[in-house]
Structure 1
Amino acid sequence: MALRPVMVNIKALDPSAVGRFWAEALGWSAYSPGVTTYVGPAGGLVWPDPVVVGIDVVPVPEPKTTTKNRVHLDLATTSAAHQTELVARLQALGATPAHVGQGDVPWTVLADPEGNEFCVLEPRAIYRGTGPIAAVVVDCADPRAMARFWGEAMDWTLHEVADDHAVFRSAKGVGPYLEFLRTPDVKTVPDRVHLDLLPYPGDDKAVEVARLRALGATDLDLGQGDVSWTCLADPEGHEFCVLEPS
């Protein structure tokens, strides 16, 4: 038994607008069958996608605070020219420069139209072939502890673990990486970006949720009410949801 990350969940005041931004940013398409906007590769919504980790943008009534998100996306580029072009195109779409204490670095930090931070990376060999999203990055205090929890929670492969970072990727070697980076800041507000995990067909969601609790996850009440998914937090308080398998 194990779970797989299938979506990056982004909360937004205007999910349609934020979904359109991310679709244009990634070269994907936005699908809005209801109040949630799904963003994935063009050609029709595939659920779950066998390669990519998609984006679902969900409506909330509260705007983002000035606190930096503890989960963000890193976007891949193939050359210095591509990085420059992508940053310019994203700003034309409504992205704005963001300052999170990064100093003089080779990547560019931006925020989407509702203030969610993300990075446009300089070209790196490790991210060739990931698709437009190089990595989902999670700030944490203890990457080794996160590696232990998430390594048991998911079926992804642990590629690296050290005192300052831990790196996972799908066991099939496709799609983005999931990275835990040690940072000095602490969690103070609910995050507006989190992972959605999905059991495999035939697996029991309730059994998976019980297994996660035994690993150290805790129940989370975000006012979600009676829904088909289960909201949990990992041992450092990062929110995530376990979806009902289709």
Structure 2
Amino acid sequence: MYLENIVFDAVDPRRLGTFWQDLLGAELLTDSPEGFETRLSIPGGPDLDLCFQPVPDPPADPVRLHLDVLSGPARDAVVAEALRLGARHLDIGQGNVPWVVLGDPESNAFCVMDDRTAHRDTGPIAAIPIDSADPERDARFWAWLTGWTDAGAAAPRTLRHPSLRGPLLEFCEEPAPKSELKNRMHLDVRLEAADDPDEVAAGIGARGGRELRPDWGDIPWRVYQDPSGNEFCVLPAP
């Protein structure tokens, strides 16, 4: 199994997808009524696809998963470019911090980060922070699910692709428990040919996750929650 997608719910997938594609320098994969997809390739590391799926109404949930954008010494220039592309400044109670919090065109919060040694070789996404009720437990869960390994960075627990390239996956203490609302952003994991879907489902359950059975019609993937309630999908092998 491997981490393949970062998925956004979007009222206007093309507008939101184009914003992120331009900000990150990603490559267009799909632009259709079913959604917008763009690929971020990390030299020597993973490929991550950003997928923007249509929803009828703006998401109302608190942001439990977000992106930290790399900037380094050029932080102000990255902020200016994000604002030019359609972002806006956002106050989420961050106070006096060395990074800048912005909202994308659909008000998904993201951070333009300060210069950090831990962000070396990440590519344009420095980190993917996730709210967690138990960072130790959830890091073990996602390490098993993705094959990513301990990175020992500043968050309570942090994983990274085995190449040590690409973004950090950071597990942060949640400010509040997960609500019943579906997260506006989630991750997708892709099975490989040798993976048995039912064995994977059993492994998810044994490690504290659970399968959901939403009424979305006939879909080729399976939907789960991690032990802290964050949704993710397991996609069939190519």
TM-score (norm 2): 0.91
Q: Are 2:172 and 1:178 equivalent residues in the alignment? A: no
Displacement over 6 Å in runs of 4+: none
Question: 1:1-20, CA deviations, whole angstroms, 9 ceiling, x for partnerless residues?
Answer: xx221110111011111110
**Matches for 1:107-122 after TM superposition, within 5 Å:** 107-122=99-114
Compute the displacement of 1:98 (Å). 1.3
Question: How many equivalent pairs are there?
Answer: 235
User: Corresponding residue for 2:14?
Assistant: 16
| Residue 168 in structure 1 maps to residue 164 in structure 2 | no
For residue 32 of structure 1, give the secondary structure of its aligned residue in structure 2: strand
Are residues 1:132 and 2:124 paired?
yes
Task: Check the 8 A contact 1:230/1:243 in 2, yes or no.
Answer: yes
Partner residue in 1 for 2:147: 155
**Counterpart contact for 2:201–2:211, Cα < 8 Å:** no
Distance 1:72 1:171 in 2: 22
Corresponding residue for residue 244 of structure 1: 236
Residue type matched to 2:59 in 1? K
Of 37, 53, 73, which residue of structure 1 is paired with 2:67?
73
Q: After superposition, what is the alpha-carbon deviation per residue over 1:15-68, rounded to whole angstroms, capped at 9, x for unaligned?
A: 1111101001101133325312111148xxxxxx95232211111112122x43
Match of 1:92 among 76, 84, 91: 84
Compared CA separation, residues 52 and 83, structure 1 to 2 (3 A) = farther
Question: Are the equivalent residues in 2 in contact too, given 1:28–1:39 (CA < 8 A)?
Answer: yes
Distance of 2:19 and 2:152 partners within structure 1? 32
Q: Contact between 1:194 and 1:239, CA under 8 Å: does it hold in 2?
A: yes
d(CA) in 1 for partners of 2:128 and 2:47?
A: 12
Q: What's the TM-score once normalised by structure 1's chain length?
A: 0.88
For 1:38, the equivalent position in structure 2 comes to 37
**C-alpha separation in 2, matches of 1:106 and 1:174:** 24
TM-superposed deviation, 1:161: 8.4
Q: Percent identity?
A: 36
After superposition, give the CA deviation of every residue in 1:153-212 in whole Å (9 maximum; x if it has no partner).
Answer: 2211022389x6110001121211100011322222211101100122332233222221
* Structure 1 spans left out of the alignment, 5+ residues: 43-48
Q: Secondary structure at the match of 1:53?
A: strand
Which one of the candidate residues 178, 189, 192 is aligned to 1:197?
189
Q: Give ranges in structure 2 of 5+ residues lacking alignment.
A: none
Any conservation in 2 of the 1:129–1:175 contact (CA below 8 Å)? yes
Secondary structure of the structure 1 residue equivalent to 2:151: strand
SS of the equivalent of 1:92 reads helix
Cα–Cα, structure 1 residues 222 and 102, in superposed 2: closer, same or farther, change >3 Å? farther
Q: Is contact 2:220-2:235 (8 Å) kept?
A: yes
Could you tell me which of 206, 213, 226 is aligned with 1:221?
Answer: 213
The answer (yes or no) to whether the contact 1:74–1:118 under 8 Å persists in 2 is yes
Larger deviation, residues 149-158 vs 232-241: 149-158
Cα distance in 2, alignment partners of residues 200 and 169 from structure 1: 19
Aligned partners of 1:4 and 1:198 also within 8 Å: yes
